[in-house]
Amino acid sequence: MNDQGSISNLLNEDRHFAPDPAFTVQAVAQPGIYEEAQADRLAFWAKQAKELHWHKPFNHVLDWNDAPFARWFYDGQLNVAFNCLDRHVIEGRGDRVAIHFEGEPGDTRSYTYSQLTSEVKKAANVLASLGIGQGDRVAIYLPMIPEAAIAMLAVARLGAVHSVVFGGFSAEALHTRIEDAEAKLVITADGGFRRGAASALKPAVDEALAGGKCPSVTNVLVVQRTGQETAWNPELDLWWHDEMAKASQEHEAQGFDAENPLFILYTSGTTGKPKGILHTSGGYLTQVAYTHKNVFDLHADTDVYWCTADVGWITGHSYVVYGPLANGATQVIYEGTPDSPHAGRWWEIIEKYGVSIFYTAPTAIRSFMKQGREIPDKFNLKSLRVLGSVGEPINPEAWMWYRDVIGGGKCPIVDTWWQTETGAIMISPLPGLTTLTPGSAQLALPGINMAVVNDDGRELENGHGGYLVITEPWPSMLRGIWRNPDRYKEGYWSRFPSRYFAGDGAKLDHEGNLWVLGRVDDVLNVSGHRLSTAEIESALVSHEWVAEAAVVGATDELTGQSPVAFVILRTDQIEAAGDDKNINTVLRNWVAKEIGPIAKPRQIMVVPELPKTRSGKIMRRLLRDVAEQREVGDTTTLADVGVMSLITSKLATGASD
Ligand code: WTA
């Protein structure tokens, strides 16, 4: 897993940026916070939880008797939506802007906390009128528009469970997610705006439900965003605006148990089938609110916050919807792509709204870096005071560029490590307290206990690399995999007993800072989005031409990693498949249709054989060498040592685009 060369390079990083004392004085996180959490971890979490409004206060912090199934604050009751909305209005913050929405075509809308509360109350009444109640699952398949947050909060308000499916996923991916969760309702839109054009969404829902494939679904609620022609099924479909117009603005939020499920979010694991990560209410909201406030140094009355993630990913759940709204923040939500209608659109938005806290992904930073600093330099970015990064390791060059060009050399950067499963940030610097080292996510947050271990599970000392584990339960931890408790235990808690294995490799530098090195399993990280090699392989072999497929993640300058596929064609299909160019086009589009455009392999190489061990396991390491055009490594454990030369000679002579 670990490339020893790059580890020692990282260990040599000697740039450090001490906090500015003027920042420290005003910072949310004050010295002593690590010691306080360490002295009594559960008391520390109880204190954070008490920042929320509880319909019924809790007496117990953690029940870990049935480990690895945790219950946090379990005898308390709360309403997640009430905490994100009504509470702010009741406490006099109703006129504060919650959301500044910027549509891609340039249309804008702002919602104050009062207005957002009314919208969510109406939406909750609409959902209740459609038979949605506690525990029911609602699939949400929307573009990045305020209705996405409104729909999620309305579901939460009723004690129901949302499953948000990223709008870039295909009809097939949507279908499997609706089916697995047995969703009763789907909330979608006619379409959204992307790259200057209306892009349809509703047809994918129609295809996912066609022919009674998802019998659990009783209605489809459709937001009108683009106004494009939309096919209509009068038996299921309802316009969101028609139902909202009829709905009452009165809705009293009821308290639900802290462990009431809040959402399922599907993510890729090491098998072909995405897993439904289950999160519950009290612990999740506690940790997202605490991290959002301390990691981003949120001063809710003056800051303008912007996280560029889509609500279809965990970052959008925790740091667009629940964290910022629980803290009463003012935030920007942007619908479109960074380069539409011009390459400076993001920086224009920062200038326009006076964004002070900005949270994005290394892929985006690297692509801006490639375009050159002239573009951001045209805008006034002086309002920025904290910058965040998430989704993949940020290389020190990109970190420095982010700091200098976007942050004007003065903003602390928080490189935040976490996962869909952890629910909230686990490792990050604290601005104002931490001396920053470019490229390192640095320390586990106060209240979080982590370690780096070797193959035998022994904790490693500074200066060594191994596997990243979490050693104590945490409030926003996943509560399991939807309807699959065994996969939860096996997938996360069996490799190192009593410890959660994150699937990432990491090292500790000489000062004890953590450097996350990326996945050690068969999970790819493409532009900060998780995809499993098995998922792409199973999409490929479902095509009639393909007999066998192996997918590896090749290093990509821009996206971190990108999938490269090796396929063996069925003998009777070789003629039909045509030349390599045709095979590439057809199979890449096939994967886009089966999973979504993000899963499209960068390249598909047709090979006569795949390298396998004697037990039949594909040796991906060797394929990765080929994909990255390196010299092929040790082949002695191959069942047939001639395979690699067969592959490399085929690739040297064959035309492959
Ligand atoms: C990777 C995204 C290095 C990691 C929030 C993890 C990171 C996976 C970082 C989770 C970071 C996320 N530095 N790697 N700051 N943040 N990762 O579930 O491999 O989409 O396991 O959650 O992204 O991806 P997920």
Tell me 433's DSSP state. Answer: T
E strand or H helix at 589, and its extent? helix 580-594
SS3 of residue 125 by DSSP = helix
Q: What is the pLDDT of residue 5?
A: 42
Is the pLDDT confidence value at 2 over 90? no
Least confident of 2-16, 117-131, 299-313, 433-447: 2-16
**418 ligand 1 Cβ < 6 A:** yes
In CATH terms, is domain 21-434+444-506 a member of 3.40.50.12780?
Answer: yes
**pLDDT digit string, tens, across residues 106-134:** 999 999 999 999 999 999 999 999 999 99
Query: CB–CB of 410/260 below 8 Å?
Result: no
Q: What is the pLDDT of residue 226?
A: 98
Least confident of 79-93, 147-161, 287-301, 539-553: 539-553
- Strand 191-194 to strand 219-223: parallel, antiparallel, or no bridges (unpaired)? unpaired
Q: What is the pLDDT of residue 653?
A: 62
| Region of residue 504 (left: phi > 0; alpha: psi -120 to 50; beta: else) | beta
**pLDDT digit string, tens, across residues 320-360:** 999 999 999 999 999 999 999 999 999 999 999 999 999 99
Q: What is the pLDDT of residue 657?
A: 37
Angstrom distance (rounded) from CA 90 to CA 94: 7
HEC secondary structure over 9-46: HHHCCCCCECCCHHHHHHCCCCCCHHHHHHHCHHHHHH
**416 ligand 1 Cβ < 6 A:** yes
Q: Look up the pTM and report it.
A: 0.93
**Rounded mean pLDDT of 46-66?**
98
Cα of 228 from ligand 1 centre, angstroms: 36
CB-hemisphere CA count at 13 Å for 286? 29
Cα of 379 from ligand 1 centre, angstroms: 30
Angstrom distance (rounded) from CA 23 to CA 434: 11
By most ligand atoms within 8 Å of CB, the mutation choice from 520, 530, 531, 559 for ligand 1 is 530
Q: Spell out a b/e string for 433-465, using b for 16 or more CB atoms within 10 Å of the CB, else e.
A: bbebbbbbbbbbbbbbbbbbbeeebeebeeebb
Is the pLDDT confidence value at 1 over 50? no
Cα of 216 from ligand 1 centre, angstroms: 33
Banded model confidence at residue 8, pLDDT cuts 50, 70, 90: low
Is the pLDDT confidence value at 387 over 60? yes
Q: Of the candidates 610, 580, 586, 611, which has an alpha carbon nearest to the alpha carbon of residue 600?
A: 586
By most ligand atoms within 8 Å of CB, the mutation choice from 1, 311, 319, 392 for ligand 1 is 392
Cα of 115 from ligand 1 centre, angstroms: 34
Query: CB–CB of 355/349 below 8 Å?
Result: yes
Q: What is the pLDDT of residue 330?
A: 98
Angstrom distance (rounded) from CA 329 to CA 289: 11
**Rounded mean pLDDT of 234-238?**
97
Banded model confidence at residue 633, pLDDT cuts 50, 70, 90: confident
The ligand 1 atom nearest the CA atom of 530: 20
Cα of 413 from ligand 1 centre, angstroms: 16
Nearest C-alpha to atom 8 of ligand 1 is from which residue? 419
The overall average pLDDT reported for the chain is 94
Listed by start position, the domains of the chain span: 21-434+444-506, 527-648
Q: What is the pLDDT of residue 358?
A: 98
**Rounded mean pLDDT of 173-181?**
97
Pick one of 3.40.50.2000, 2.170.130.10, 3.30.300.30, 3.50.50.60 as the CATH number of 527-648. 3.30.300.30
- Strand 465-470 to strand 108-112: parallel, antiparallel, or no bridges (unpaired)? unpaired
Q: What is the pLDDT of residue 645?
A: 87
Terminal Cα-to-Cα distance of the chain (whole angstroms): 28
Q: Spell out a b/e string for 68-88, using b for 16 or more CB atoms within 10 Å of the CB, else e.
A: bebbbbbebbbbbbbbbbbbb
Single-letter amino acid, residue 317: H
Cα of 416 from ligand 1 centre, angstroms: 8
Query: CB–CB of 186/217 below 8 Å?
Result: yes
By most ligand atoms within 8 Å of CB, the mutation choice from 417, 437, 467 for ligand 1 is 417
**392 ligand 1 Cβ < 6 A:** yes
